[in-house]
Chain A
Amino acid sequence: MIKKLYNLWPEPGLLIRLGALHAINAVLQGVLLGMLIPVLRVLLQPKPDFSAAEPWLIVGGIGLFVYAILTIIATPVGFTASMELTAKLRHRVMEHITSLPLGWFTTEQKARMARSITADVGNAPNLAVTIGAPAITATLVPATLILVTFFVDWRIALLLLSIMVLALVALRHAGNVAAIADEELEETATEIAGRAVELGQAQTVLRAAGLGVTGTSRMQEALEGHRITYRKGLQKSMWPDLTYTGVVMGGFIALIVLGTQLLVDGTLSVPDTIALFVIAVRFLEPLGSLIELIGALRAMNNAVTRVQGILDTPSLPKRNNGIKTVEDADITLENVRYSYGNNLALNGVSFHCPPGSTTALVGASGSGKTTVIRIIARFFDIDSGTVRIGGKEITSYDYDSLMQHIAVIFQDVYLFDTSIEDNLRLAKPDASKAELAKAAELACLDEMIGRLPNGWETRVGEAGTSLSGGERQRVSIARAFLKDAPIVLIDEASSALDPENEQAISRAIANLAGDGKRTVIVIAHRPTTLAAATQVVALHEGQVVELGNPAELRIGNGVFSKLYKQYEKARSWYIQKEY
């Protein structure tokens, strides 16, 4: 655990100082309680001898004062530590995230990341500070008291020692059992969460099927499953909990019996017995509160593990003296293989795009088109084979410089919540008004900007929500014009757009690809785009099945020709009733 924390903060000075402060304070507490023994020895007499107790009382008073000072200091120090560590960790996690390959940023990962960077990063240090202190106190105070007891009576000391050992064993066991039960319960809770989402989405279908008020049988099973697992988990985790309480309570009983026996035997004097009683109670009590820390400890462990999981994701390897400029805008893929986990996405893909050419990628969904685009943009590095740009391996370039030469137009275009102009300027911060206007014109964005209430100044809303998908893609195309990169990668919008947008995008892509200056690779869904391509690469299950000129391929009987006919047929379909 401590090692895990150390991994999060390589300079743990603050945590160590804070821990040391609490450790000193805990030992001090034990020693102060131990001083009861000499005090009670002289006071618990028929005639209390106050003068003999005085030096002890004075030292004890000073000790208590020091204790108070340390406790008061520890509070703000703890707050500050927690705050500083949180901020440091946040920056560290965010910095790491910026170095990750683009392929990492899936919807799931983004949700995880947002949660980690707010909740986990805040909780880990907070818990480290807030449960660190009681954990240190609850172990060091009893340990010190055992030591003190050894000086007075070894039998009681041995009893306390064995209680402590037993308690720690029981505690460990309880923690493990609870962790397992938690995991099992988490599983059923996840199932319920999934079913709940389904319940929300499929409400119409369920109602039509008459299952509106009961949910599907699987929903009912999930609810019942949760109840059963919960009960089972309780039965499992209740025993270790009780065992722990039993150890502490048993400790009390053993202490009372042993102490009283020794007192009756006369082998332990009255003052010593009473002093040891007081000390033993102080020993048992913090021990009893340890079990309450288990849950918080587990929460901290989970938070730390999640944050560490992000920090452990390998970042894209950086080259220090990578090539800075792209000489020729030609792209070559040779025998490229790439897998998402166990899913082979590209299985030996090879093709060449000469400078200034337009290559259309076609194929059914899942054939690997998008993966090809992503590996050229270095979202992730390939498993084997080579990707060359301008005759040089893509990994030999300096990443940032390479990105200067590539413009990517995605299907789901992300716009920042600022003005249209700012969103365009991302591509070229110092662009002149004329350049902006030119890019907008070529991307067929000018008429849209003319329609917006504040023109160029119009805010686009978070994630560009106030613009339609087609309009967002046009903004993205305008960015590509402005950036004037020699290589453009396009994932054409596949869904049906309203006619105006469709027309505008087709024209914009034609402008981008048609002038022969750029090397364009486009995942094409529209006959217009296909017809304008210099070459077509048809993919099927991660392999190139056809390659050639679109006009020629259309005549044949291959994949492309079939796809093309399908596109055509789909475009002329209309609803008619079959009688």
Chain B
Amino acid sequence: MTDNLIDTTDPNDHPSLMSPGALGRLLQPVRLKLLAATLLSAIAAAAGLAPYIAIAEIGRHTLSLSSGSFAHDKLWLWVTIGLLGAFLRLLLTFFSSRIGHYADAEILHNIRVRIVRHLGILPLGWFRYKGASAVKKVMTNDLEEMHQLIAHSLRETVGAAVAILVGSAYLVAVDWRMGSVTISVLALMFVSYRIAMRSITLHMSKLLAAEARISSASVEYADGISVVKTFGTSGRMMRRFAKAVDEHTKAMSAWVSETKYSSALARLLASEMTVFGVVMVSGLFFVRSGSLAIGDLIPFLIVGIGLPTSIVPAIHGGQGLRKGRLSAGNIENLLNRKPLPEPSQPQNVQGHRIIFNGVSFAYDGHNMVLKNINMTCEPGTVTALVGPSGAGKSTLANLLPRFYDVTAGSICIGGVDIRSIPSKHLLTSMSLVFQDIVLLRDTVAENIRIGKPRASFSEIKEAAQAAQIHHVIEQLPNGYDTILGSGSSGLSGGERQRLTIARAILSGAPIVILDEATASLDPDSELAVQDALSKLASGKTMIVIAHRLHTIKEADQIVVIDRGQIVETGKHNELIVANGLYSRMWNAQQKNQNQYDKETI
């Protein structure tokens, strides 16, 4: 819920076409290479016309003389020019492509490194609501779209444009009237193409919306498949899908019927045969009227007819450019996102007393999820946060590692506002054990070692033993060197959780935050995790969020939170006597427990 709030109030997140200037900034490190590649591609395109022009000139030359008496050396000169042109085209294309792709490889790497670095300084809360998939999208999909732009679209579009320009110039030089006729066909084609594409944005967004509905209908069907099948009510679901497909077809045919003539015309005009027809009709007309030498018709038959071939890639290249710019926009948005402010004057922490001082917090800056929280956690004590779901317990715990910064008030550790502690020091001082277990796709040993990068192997083993996971690791195919897969890896949820606890034990951080650490576990593995947690707890300042109240009944202080506010604070016995929310929750749970006891006796 709260995630949406953040999303809508964040103007930075809307992808937008980036101005070319911003694109230029992103590509700055390889600007010279890109320029060189584009230039070479342009020259290559021009050189590629040489064989055409050579053939045309040979024809013109032979026809300009009375038959049989043409100058051989002039013919062979054109042969040589054509030959050189073809060779040059090949050579330059080679270099252009090589430089372009190398620039691409380099900039992809460069931008990825920059993204990683920038992610490292963003507020942690960003990852909570954007999620890992957003990181993945920007590092793979968006960058690949940009790759199209860098490695292909730019060079190809410029190359095509140069070919058209040089070709047209040559034709105009041969005969300006015929040249103009040929160019006007191209211009007409361009106009009809624009007409055909005029509403592409509107129709594309309609089609995409229809596709999204198809996707969600099919996903809903698949998600609910077991329900659908076991209740035999697939008809209703299929209707939804069929409706979405129909809508898609309708949107498509609306677009088609609107543009079918203009795009058919564009296609006809883009065809070589159209230029061929126009050249023949107008050329023969001029020849017959005596104003055009028959030889001057040849360049139009050879170079002119080929011009539309260059235009189509130029148009497609334009679309590639647009997509690339969109993706570049996404990347730049991420890189421009404001990092978590680091203290300008870092201060030294004295001890580990945690003080929440009138803390209020709102995800969106307005709707307070936490209101005026005041509490102190003495070093070496256990503080339990309890309360109904949605009361704000997890949010409160997330403020301590600065997933988000407080909206009002302050949080101090060892007398220093956490905003004045360098984030690395802050995070090293605490261990977070949450429901969502985070393991790296690396060896078991590395997964524990990351808690203390310089730890020796025996330290790692000790931590694993303390976390009751050593014997499990020993049984893995490669022991501590087993690489954990992204998904299963053969470890159960409880075993994975114990690995993260071993990591926390190794780090020896003085503050431990447990957020429902055993909640998502099989009861079968719960006990082992609990033992591991007991080991972790020794001597630490703990903040524990728990549903099951008996797990925290020995806590040094229990803080009861309801609707973002502290309603009660005290030890278990005191709160039971106080007869407030805690006492009511405790009684409800006890009733359940008693019922079970009764049944099992």
Contact = CB atoms under 8 A, between A and B. Distances in A.
Interface stretch (B171-179, B324-332, B545-553): B545-553
A570 B526 contact: yes
A162 interface: no
A32 B301 CA distance: 13
A249 B51 contact: yes
Contacts of B554: 574-576
B229 interface: yes
B245 interface: yes
Contacts of B200: none
Given A206-B120, A216-B442, A403-B232, A76 B553 contact: no
A3 to B, nearest CB: 26
Of listed A498, A503, A570, residue having the most chain B CB within 10 A: A570
A209 B229 contact: no
Given A60-B280, A253-B83, A572-B550, A200 B134 contact: yes
Of listed A215, A417, A468, A579, residue having the most chain B CB within 10 A: A215
Contact of A205 (B48, B51, B245, B438): B438
A201 B438 contact: yes
Given A60-B280, A80-B256, A404 B232 contact: yes
Given A227-B105, A403-B229, A528-B599, 11 more contacts: A43-B287, A75-B260, A97-B222, A102-B225, A201-B132, A208-B428, A218-B440, A234-B105, A260-B75, A365-B492, A414-B226
Nearest to A280: B55
Given A113-B222, A199-B116, A230 B493 contact: no
A257 B79 contact: yes
A256 B116 contact: no
Interface stretch (A298-306, A386-394, A561-569): A561-569
Interface in B236-256: 238, 241-242, 245-246, 248-249, 252-253, 256
B272 interface: yes
A287 B108 CA distance: 33
Interface stretch (A10-18, A66-74, A324-332, A447-455): A66-74
A317 to B, nearest CB: 15
B120 A214 contact: yes
B220 interface: yes
A242 B90 contact: yes
Contact of B599 (A60, A213, A250, A532): A532
Interface string A271-308: 00110011001100100010010000000000000000
A75 B517 CA distance: 62
A525 B273 CA distance: 76
Contacts of A566: 523-524, 526-527
Contacts of A64: 273, 276-277
A227 B24 CA distance: 22
Contacts of A494: 521-523
A278 B301 contact: yes
Interface in B299-319: 301-302, 305-306, 309, 313
Interface string A188-205: 010011111111111111
Contact of A400 (B104, B232, B553): B232
Interface string A210-229: 11111110110001101100
A98 B139 contact: no
A479 interface: yes
A525 B226 CA distance: 22
Given A231-B105, A573-B551, A110 B223 contact: yes
B510 interface: no
A154 B218 CA distance: 59
Interface stretch (B180-188, B346-354, B584-592): B584-592
B123 to A, nearest CB: 10
- Range for the number of chain B residues in contact with chain A: 35 or more
Contacts of B451: 208-209
Contact of A238 (B101, B134, B538, B588): B101
Interface in B369-390: 380, 382, 384, 388-389
A203 B547 contact: no
Interface stretch (A83-91, A168-176, A353-361, A435-443): A83-91
B527 A573 contact: yes
Contacts of A281: 52, 55, 302, 305-306
A117 B214 contact: yes
B9 interface: no
Contacts of B555: 575
21 contacts: A32-B273, A71-B264, A86-B248, A86-B249, A110-B222, A113-B218, A118-B218, A189-B144, A197-B136, A199-B116, A199-B119, A199-B135, A203-B120, A230-B105, A270-B62, A274-B298, A281-B302, A414-B224, A499-B547, A527-B600, A573-B530
Interface in B113-139: 113, 116-117, 119-121, 124, 127, 130-136, 139
A389 to B, nearest CB: 14
B450 A205 contact: yes
A191 B302 CA distance: 50
Nearest to B434: A204
A33 interface: yes
Given A204-B124, A206-B120, A253 B516 contact: no
Interface stretch (B12-20, B92-100, B411-419): B92-100
Contacts of A205: 438, 440, 450, 503
Nearest to A281: B302
A114 interface: yes
Contacts of A94: 218, 221, 238, 241
B166 interface: no
A575 B523 contact: no
Nearest to B297: A43
Contact of B493 (A238, A365, A403): A365
A238 B507 contact: no
Given A193-B136, A531-B599, A575 B120 contact: no
B170 interface: no
A83 B544 contact: no
Contact of B284 (A57, A113, A377, A528): A57
A410 interface: yes
Given A198-B441, A223-B113, A91 B140 contact: no
Contacts of A223: 109, 112-113, 116
A463 interface: yes
B223 A575 contact: no
B524 A365 contact: yes
A132 to B, nearest CB: 14
A215 B106 CA distance: 19
A446 interface: no
Given A407-B230, A506-B592, A274 B59 contact: yes
Contacts of B233: 426, 429
B194 interface: no
Nearest to B48: A249
The 5 A-B residue pairs with the shortest CB-CB distance, nearest first, are A200-B132, A212-B120, A213-B120, A75-B264, A200-B135
A427 interface: yes
A209 B600 CA distance: 48
B58 A256 contact: yes
B534 interface: yes
Interface in A361-415: 363-366, 377, 379, 400, 403-404, 406-408, 410, 414
B273 to A, nearest CB: 5
B135 A196 contact: yes
Interface string B263-277: 111011001111011
B542 interface: yes
B169 interface: no
Nearest to A33: B276
A282 B553 CA distance: 88
Contacts of A194: 441, 486
Interface in A95-118: 97-98, 102, 105, 109-110, 113-114, 117-118
A318 interface: no
B261 to A, nearest CB: 8
Contact of A256 (B82, B89, B131): B82
Of listed A46, A48, A260, A567, residue having the most chain B CB within 10 A: A260
